[in-house]
């Protein structure tokens, strides 16, 4: 799921140059482009909230991926497009650094590469603004925020695993919901008793082999 790119007119500034003969020439230097980047998992309201905040912050081009923060960068096409489009002097605005990456190494590496390219970074939570702080302080702050994000993610995973364990102990079953009826189960089991194979049953019932196998394993005595 990707976001539409919003483009506004880029203003220019005039620079005067004087050559060895005293001739003054002028050229138009484009102003830095302000990019906005959002990321969310499945919450539409969260996506809309982030996009609106980026617009209000002055973002001229907005990119975003609807995907989890732990996903590999290759699975985030709009993030890749955004990083490729930016040039030295441009500014990247994000709601918080965890929208860029939730891993410690991922966050530090991406911020380092952006700074080396001459790209400034601002977060809407006011925790980072590379336009107003030395690079050394920036990297120290990024390291702290990256560590905090990694720890938070690990805590979420731990709580989720503990919750699933408790639910399983109470008889809650996880996985895909059944997409077959008791009548279909009865027919599948009768065909299996007669010696029919998974492939034959699947074709006859309009099911996949994996579904037939699941039915048989769940109801075979």
State the pLDDT at residue 6. Answer: 45
142 is a domain residue: yes
CATH number for 208: 1.10.10
DSSP 3-state of 12: strand
208 is a domain residue: yes
Q: Band of the pLDDT at 4, cuts 50, 70, 90?
A: very low
Residue range of the domain that includes 118: 12-149
Are residue 25 and residue 75 in the same domain, yes or no?
A: yes
Distance from C-alpha of 162 to C-alpha of 136, rounded to nearest angstrom: 39
Distance from C-alpha of 133 to C-alpha of 138, rounded to nearest angstrom: 6
Q: Band of the pLDDT at 56, cuts 50, 70, 90?
A: very high
177 is a domain residue: no
State the pLDDT at residue 58. Answer: 95
- Of the candidates 149, 171, 194, which is a domain's last residue? 149
Average model confidence (pLDDT) across the chain: 76
Are residue 123 and residue 215 in the same domain, yes or no?
A: no
Between residues 215 and 152, which one has the greater pLDDT? 215
Q: Identify any residues that bridge with 26 across adjacent strands, giving them in sequence order.
A: 16
State the pLDDT at residue 1. Answer: 46
Are residue 102 and residue 24 in the same domain, yes or no?
A: yes
198 is a domain residue: yes
40 is a domain residue: yes
State the pLDDT at residue 31. Answer: 85
CATH number for 49: 3.40.50.1390
Are residue 86 and residue 137 in the same domain, yes or no?
A: yes
| Residue 6 contacts residue 59 (beta carbons within 8 Å) | yes
pLDDT single digits (tens) 131-150: 888 777 777 777 676 666 66
144 is a domain residue: yes
90 is a domain residue: yes
Are residue 135 and residue 186 in the same domain, yes or no?
A: no
Are residue 49 and residue 127 in the same domain, yes or no?
A: yes
Catalytic position from the list 11, 13, 25, 41: 41
- Of the candidates 131, 149, 167, which is a domain's last residue? 149
Number of domains making up the chain: 2
DSSP 3-state of 174: coil
State the pLDDT at residue 150. Answer: 66
Q: Token match 């107003």: residue?
A: 132
Q: pTM of the predicted model, to two decimals?
A: 0.54
Are residue 114 and residue 33 in the same domain, yes or no?
A: yes
pLDDT at residue 9 above 80? no
| Residue 107 contacts residue 146 (beta carbons within 8 Å) | yes
pLDDT at residue 66 above 70? yes
Q: Measured between alpha carbons, how far is residue 213 from residues 172, 182, 191, 200, 206 in Å?
A: 22, 15, 12, 12, 13
pLDDT single digits (tens) 179-213: 778 888 888 888 888 888 888 888 888 888 888 88
The gap between the terminal CA atoms of the chain, to the nearest Å, is: 44
Q: What is the mean pLDDT of residues 60-71?
A: 80
163 is a domain residue: no
Are residue 144 and residue 35 in the same domain, yes or no?
A: yes
- Interhelix angle 198-205/209-219, nearest 10 degrees: 110
Are residue 141 and residue 33 in the same domain, yes or no?
A: yes
Are residue 53 and residue 108 in the same domain, yes or no?
A: yes
DSSP 3-state of 95: coil
State the pLDDT at residue 8. Answer: 40
H or E element, residue 220: none
What would the two tokens of residue 160 be?
Answer: 């989720």
Q: Is 41 annotated as catalytic? A: yes
pLDDT single digits (tens) 102-129: 677 777 788 888 888 999 999 998 888 8
């Amino acid at each position: 799921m990707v976001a539409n790119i919003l483009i506004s007119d880029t203003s220019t500034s005039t620079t005067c140059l004087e050559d060895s003969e005293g001739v003054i020439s002028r050229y138009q230097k484009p102003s830095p482009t302000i990019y906005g980047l959002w990321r969310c998992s499945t919450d539409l309201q969260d996506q809309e909230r982030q996009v609106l905040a980026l617009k209000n912050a002055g973002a001229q081009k907005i990119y975003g991926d609807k995907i989890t923060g732990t996903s590999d960068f290759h699975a985030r096409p709009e993030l890749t497009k955004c990083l490729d489009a930016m040039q030295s002097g441009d500014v990247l605005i994000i709601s918080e650094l965890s929208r860029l990456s939730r891993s410690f190494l991922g966050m530090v590496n991406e911020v380092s590469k952006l700074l080396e390219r001459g790209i400034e970074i601002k977060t809407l939570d006011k925790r980072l603004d590379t336009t107003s702080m030395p690079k050394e302080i920036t990297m120290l702050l990024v390291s702290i925020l990256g560590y905090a994000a990694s720890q938070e993610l690990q805590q979420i995973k731990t709580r989720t695993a503990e919750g699933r364990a408790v639910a399983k102990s109470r008889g809650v079953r996880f996985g895909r919901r059944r997409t077959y009826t008791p009548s279909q189960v009865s027919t599948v089991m009768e065909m299996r008793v007669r010696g029919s194979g998974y492939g034959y049953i699947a074709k006859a019932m309009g099911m996949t082999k994996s579904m037939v196998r699941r039915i048989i394993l769940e109801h075979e005595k």
